[in-house]
Amino acid sequence: MSPARRAAKRAPGSRARRPLRQRTAKPQTSARRTGPIRIALLHGPNLNLLGTRAPEIYGTTTLPEIEAEMTRRAEARGAELRSAQSNFEGELVALIQLARNWADAIVINPGAYTHTSIAIRDAIEAVGLPTVEVHLSNIHAREEFRARSITAARCIGQISGFGPQSYYLGLDAALSHVEASRRSHGEAGKRQKRSKRR
């Protein structure tokens, strides 16, 4: 192959190059109106250390214990739950984007990224899934820098200060939100059908 052809092959945009974009499942184009409600549960940095990390602030319940209880509660309400934890900001962004292909709502504890991450805030906004932000500790009663959440403004609400109960309340809020929006959508559909028949 001539050097010119080799260079053309490497040139950005040249068809010979493999696309950088990863193949992903087709994103949902609109909210699922039927079937079990699916919740993506996401945890940010250092939450994998729960149980031993500052127990005077975060308690002694471990992350696997919280996840098991969340799964039990979700299943008791006929819902499905998948969870993931990451210590990396970009990975959390990717997990939020992945949730778009599967979930009806997100429950997230962004950990310290709550106070710093415009990328996570933008991901929540871009994906458009109803998202509940949860914190074990009361972030408003600690150091000043924790009182500000960058991410909460793109969530439907924030629950903070109830230990593991914050997660369970967050799950309840997310499920109730999706149930209510499915109900109101169903009623709007019925009204539309009735008016078409007239």
Catalytic residues: 58, 135
Contact residue for ligand DQA among 111, 130, 164, 170 (CB under 6 A): 111
Query: CA-to-CA distance for 60 and 153, rounded, in angstroms?
Result: 29
Q: Assess 84 for contact with ligand DQA (CB under 6 A).
A: no
Q: Does residue 137 touch ligand DQA according to CB under 6 A?
A: yes
Q: Strands 80-85, 105-109: parallel, antiparallel or unpaired by DSSP?
A: unpaired
For residues 19-48, which are near ligand DQA according to CB under 6 A?
A: 46
What is the pattern of x (binds ligand DQA, CB under 6 A) and - over residues 143-182? ---x------------------------------------
Q: Which is nearer to ligand DQA, 112 or 119 (CB)?
A: 112
Kindly tell me which residue out of 71, 83, 85, 114 binds ligand DQA, with binding defined by CB under 6 A.
114
Nearest distance from residue 41's CB to ligand DQA, in Å?
13
Residue 105: what are its φ and ψ, rounded to 5°? -160, 160
* Phi, psi values for residue 106, rounded to 5°: -125, 140
Distance CA 162, CA 180 (A): 25
Cβ–Cβ under 8 Å, residues 76 and 171: no
How far is CA 105 from each of CA 8, 14, 19, 100, 197, rounded to the nearest angstrom?
Answer: 45, 39, 31, 9, 34
- Residue numbers at the binding site for ligand DQA (CB under 6 A): 46, 109, 111-112, 114, 135-137, 139, 146
